[in-house]
Structures are given as structure tokens and as C-alpha cells.
A and B are shown apart, each in its own frame.
Chain A
């Protein structure tokens, strides 16, 4: 008798267990987002995810963040393993390689579809710097381009007023400003941030069809010779051609540099190091000829993504309206969205008045952007070109020799598969 009871109990229990066990669980969709060294944006990112979850309850966002120097290692390993992050935040020309090989999703149709609700909000100039062979692979995430910071106190001492207007002015000013501990001019050099110096001498990197090198001209040789001479004399600080981020910015923040060509994030960074910096002590201007090199970030979507539509929706949220504002206000940068930038400028007026003039420069003269050529081999070209330029600028080779060698190498890179 008892045994039967126990068995029935057991049976019931089992049945219940079985039912519970097979209770339906809804399938979760996972989208991964690979950011480029913005770990301090974590709070904002969580806010985004909450917003997104509200719209798409069955989607979870995986937030990954890698520092610039490891970003490509991480992304490419994931690509090879077939687990590429769906949305990636990328800087500079790295994306061109992937785009040319067909690793990225063509966003053109999406941009067309959302023309009114989204695309119209973006700066066409920044949007178009993510176009490769007529296809648009990225949407601007946050933007910055190079500008000229100058140390007002040093300018006064040297009897200079206002920024240089031409290349030769620039060098002349640099000469006047330099001496002893101090040097007149410094530039950041990674990616193509120094290219404005070439552009203002009418030097073109490539032929219009982007198939061959076009920079080896007498004008270029002359320009490089001048730069090399200025570097030798100390008017241009050597770190311009060797340092990456910390050293040049530290130097300017320490007040020993007359003029610094850098992009807007540098200002915040330097301000943190050099409390003396404010809108009165630091002059802000475009480089002569209003040339500048963008160093923007964009959101791109991996071809391998399972949910392109959802990824696109998230990218849109992050790059427009409120989402973009959240990003800009916590990173102190402008975004690719005109709407968000209006609010951001108001935010800067209120919270960081010193940065306002810097931010203004970032959306001016967008017709004079250089150093963002859509060349698939961008990274390889850089590798081939810059070391030779360094040789010339640091007086290891004559400008002619260096540019000849560079031309040979660049053309080889462009011709090889």
C-alpha cells in the first residue's frame, strides 16, 4: 500500500519536474559592441543598453572595449574565429582593409531607407569619409579633426599676435618662439595628422585615381627640406616626428611649446595636466589654409552579424539625438549628428567654457579635410611612407632621397595584391 503511494508521489513529482523542466524559454538575441578604449563611458553604455532593451526586450547587448593598440588584434582574431563583434567602433583607416575584403556590411541602403529620420541629421562630410568604392560602411560615432593650439603667453613674449596664416608664417613664428627650453611648433604624427603641413604646400598623396603615389614633387621636397631645417634648428620640436600622444601633449601642457597641431581630445587631456590652460591663455585656430586631418571614430557593422537590422538600430541610437548627446557629454567630444552637437555646444558653454572655441573649430571648413583617402592599403601605405619621411625630417636622409624611396615603396604597396 505504502509503496504504491510512494511510487505515485514519485511519479507525480517526476511529472511536475518534467513539466517545469520543459517550460518554454524565449530565445535571446545577442549583439556585441566593440568599443575603442572608452572604458570610462561604461555608465553611458549601460544607459544605452537599458534604452535599447526597452525597445527590443529580446535583445541583449554585449559591451566589449579594447585599447587602440590591441583593438585590431582582438577584432581580427574574433573575425578569423567567426565570432566577430557585430558593431565596431573604429578609428582612422583601419576599416578600409576590412571593407575592401568584404568583411563589413554596406550601410548605404540603410542610410537611404532612414534618410529623413536619421541620415539627414548627420554631417555629409563626416559621413562621406567612411565611403569606400561608392559604398558607405560607417556612420560617424564621434568626430575630431586637427587644429592649431597656441600658447598666448609665449606669443606675447615673441611679439606675435594671432595665428600664422601660411606655411612660411608657421615656420617663421616657430623660429621666433623657440629658444632654450622652448620650441616653436609641434604636431601629433600618428595616422595622417601631420598631413595638413603637406596639403598647405599643395602636395597630393595619390594620383586622383588613387592608384599611384603623387607626393614626390619639387614642392614636396622643398616643404620637407624646410621642415627638416626647422627641426634641426629646434624651431620644430623633434617629438613632433617621434612621440605619439603623451609626450607632445605633456610638452604643450608644460608650457614649453609655442604651437601644437592636435585634435580636440588633446585639449581636455592637456587641460587636466596643465591647469593654466583656459580660453585666454591658449589660442585656438585652424591650421594655415584651414587644412585639417579628421581623426574621427565611426560605427561599422561586421558582415558576419546575424541581426543586421538590430545592429543598425543600435548604431543609429548611439550616433543620433539623445544617444549621441550622452556620448559627447561624457567624452567631451562632438558627434556626427548636427542635432546632438547643438545641445552639446550648449553643454560645453555651461560646463567647459574653455573648450567652446576648440569645439567650434571641429565643424568648420569641412571641405578642407585631408589624410582620409579611401585606399584599401591605408595602413601599409602609412608603414611605407612615414618611416621614410621621418628619415628626412630627422636629418638621416636628404628630402629627395627619402621621398624617392618612399615613392618606390608606396607604389609597390599599391601595385601588390
Chain B
């Protein structure tokens, strides 16, 4: 009997690892090995045409002490991340509205998600031009509403360029958040609500007591996506502002990319990548702490 259980157990373990293997392999190839490569590179003077030399902390010193663009882009990236909750909040409201039994909710859901399938480069082009000073729609609306009397060059102004980029990025990812949250909402057993209704809990109470706790995993997922977005937004910044004017829209990733490919300082870029990685991992870890338990788990007993 006991041995039987053991055998079952080992069979199960084999199965589990067999199931994990392919994904792990891919991540090893395209995430972990490159990261290690970057780690090594960041302590070297590396250059495709020359023999490699040991650099010690040379690049880190340059980056952390002298390179204010690095700090600027780190700050921007954090701001972009901090803007994730706005998007998630909006998405949550929409999800809750769509989750009701109103007619045509399917249509609404569809429309809200429509923005996500759009190629980010295209999103960049579209918004670059919605924000345009002369022919842009936003300026047109603002002017016809009489709020302003001449076009605002959103993407050229130090103060407005970055918010504009953030708006575009939220626009793009909103539908995605909503879908995740909606899946979460739909997975909350109706019985809980019924029970709560019997206890005579109001809508708000129900939200606080049931919906929100049950949604935590989905919300966490949204946060992770938001964090990822704050560097996958590369294409967006790249198309809309190229990081300008004077680096106010520079993100870590755009700066890393530029360092590597226009300044051909791969070693320096590698150092920044490492810092970037550590930064994000810490954040993810914190988020995970905040939302308790491992990502995406719906807690048992429901």
C-alpha cells in the first residue's frame, strides 16, 4: 500500500517535471542564458572587434555615479509603472460594469479589448498623430471645446510628452487588464454572493468582502503585466518620441537599446540590463508579498 503511494508519487513528480521541461528550456535559452551573458559582459570591456578585458565595476560606476540620463530613465520607468494602477483601476471598473447582466455586454467587452491586438508600432503611429499639434484630433477637440486657442505640441513639450506616452500605453493595455479581471470575476463562485446576499450585505460590502479578495490573483497578474509593459512599451516610446525631448520620455529599455545599438556600448548596456533586472525583480517580489501567496492562485476552500 505504502509503496504503491510512493510509486504513484514518483510517477507524479516525473510527470510534473516532464510538463515543466519545455517551458523551462525555452526560458533558459532566451531569458536566463542571455541574462547571465549580460551579467558577465557588465564586468568587461567588450566589443566585437577587440579582445575582451576585465572592467571591474567601471560600467556600474559610470552608470550609478555620473550618468544622469540613466537615473532619469529609471525614474521615468518607475513613473510608468506607478501609472499601472490607474489603468488597472479603470479596467476593474469596466470589468465590473461588463460583468453585470446588462444587454450587449459582449459587445462592450469586445470593443474595449480591441485596442490590445493592435501592433504597438501602429499604436505609436496612431497616437503620435492624435497628439499632433496641427492635424491631431485631441488638439482639434480641445480647441473646438474652446479649452485652448492654439494647438499644444504634446509630444514636444517637456511637461506633457511623458503623460501623453502614458495615456497611449494605458489605452493599449486597458482591454487586456479588463479581460484578466473579467476571467477572475467570472471564476468567483456565484454561491458566495448568494450567501452574502442572504447575510444582507450591500453591493459595496460584497465587493470588499468577496470580490476584491477573490480578485487578488488576477489583480496581481495585472500588476505583473503592467510592470512588464513598462519596458515592453519600448516600441511606443521609440515611435512616438525616441525618448526626447531631452530624455524626458526616456525609459530604461529605450536607453539600454540606444546604448547598445547607436552608441555600440554593449558592455555598458549589459550593466544597465542587470540593474534593470534587479530593480524589476525586487518590485515583483514586493508585489507578490503585498498580494500574498504565489501568483495567480485562487485560494482554496471556495
Contact = CB atoms under 8 A, between A and B. Distances in A.
A396 B246 contact: yes
A242 B50 contact: no
A244 interface: yes
Interface string A64-100: 0000010011001001100000000000001001100
A238 interface: yes
B264 interface: yes
Interface stretch (B9-17, B41-49, B191-199, B292-300): B41-49
Contact of B50 (A80, A101, A243, A244): A101
B263 A242 contact: no
A244 B242 contact: yes
Nearest to A392: B246
A396 B158 contact: yes
Contact of A394 (B47, B66, B158, B257): B158
A390 B48 contact: no
A412 interface: yes
A123 B158 CA distance: 42
Interface in B222-276: 238, 242, 244-247, 257-258, 260-266
A238 B158 CA distance: 12
Contact of A72 (B156, B261, B266): B261
Contacts, number: 74
A326 interface: no
Given A101-B49, A241-B245, A76 B264 contact: yes
Contacts of A79: 48-49
Q: Is the interface of B mostly helix, strand, loop or mixed?
A: loop
B213 interface: no
A391 B153 CA distance: 16
Contact of A379 (B47, B132, B244, B263): B263
B244 A242 contact: yes
Contacts of B156: 238-239, 242-243
B134 interface: yes
Given A72-B262, A238-B153, A239-B153, A394 B48 contact: no
A103 B49 contact: yes
Contacts of B62: 416
A391 B263 CA distance: 22
B261 A73 contact: yes
A301 to B, nearest CB: 14
Contacts of B261: 72-73, 76
A387 B250 CA distance: 12
A404 interface: no
A80 B245 CA distance: 31
A73 B269 CA distance: 13
Interface residues of B, number: 30
Given A73-B261, A238-B156, A387-B246, A102 B134 contact: no
Q: Is the interface of A mostly helix, strand, loop or mixed?
A: helix
A339 interface: no
Contacts of A241: 245
A241 B158 CA distance: 12
A86 B158 CA distance: 42
- Choose among B45, B66, B134, B257 the residue with the greatest number of A CB atoms under 10 Å from its CB: B134
A383 interface: yes
Interface residues of A, number: 36
B244 A387 contact: yes
Contacts of B48: 76, 79-80, 101, 103
A390 B245 contact: yes
B155 to A, nearest CB: 8
Contacts of B153: 238-239, 242
A390 B264 contact: no
B49 A303 contact: yes
A391 B49 contact: no
B66 A390 contact: no
A186 B245 CA distance: 17
A380 interface: yes
B124 to A, nearest CB: 12
A356 interface: no
A102 B246 contact: no
A102 B245 contact: no
Interface in A208-226: none
Contacts of A244: 242
A413 to B, nearest CB: 9
A352 interface: no
A254 interface: yes
A417 interface: yes
B49 A102 contact: yes
Contact of B134 (A254, A303, A391, A412): A254
A18 B200 CA distance: 89
Given A76-B264, A394-B158, A396-B246, A251 B134 contact: yes
A407 interface: no
A343 to B, nearest CB: 36
A106 interface: no
A354 interface: no
- Choose among B45, B47, B262 the residue with the greatest number of A CB atoms under 10 Å from its CB: B262
Interface of A: 69, 72-73, 76, 79-80, 94, 97-98, 101-103, 238-239, 241-244, 247, 250-251, 254, 303, 379-380, 383, 386-388, 390-391, 394, 396, 412, 416-417
Given A73-B261, A383-B262, A387-B69, 7 more contacts: A101-B47, A101-B48, A242-B153, A383-B258, A387-B246, A396-B246, A417-B45
13 contacts: A73-B261, A76-B260, A79-B48, A97-B264, A98-B49, A98-B264, A239-B156, A242-B245, A247-B132, A303-B49, A379-B262, A390-B246, A394-B246
The 6 A-B pairs at the shortest CB distance, nearest first, are namely A387-B246, A242-B156, A390-B246, A101-B49, A73-B261, A103-B49
Interface of B: 45, 47-50, 62, 66, 69, 132-134, 153, 155-156, 158, 238, 242, 244-247, 257-258, 260-266
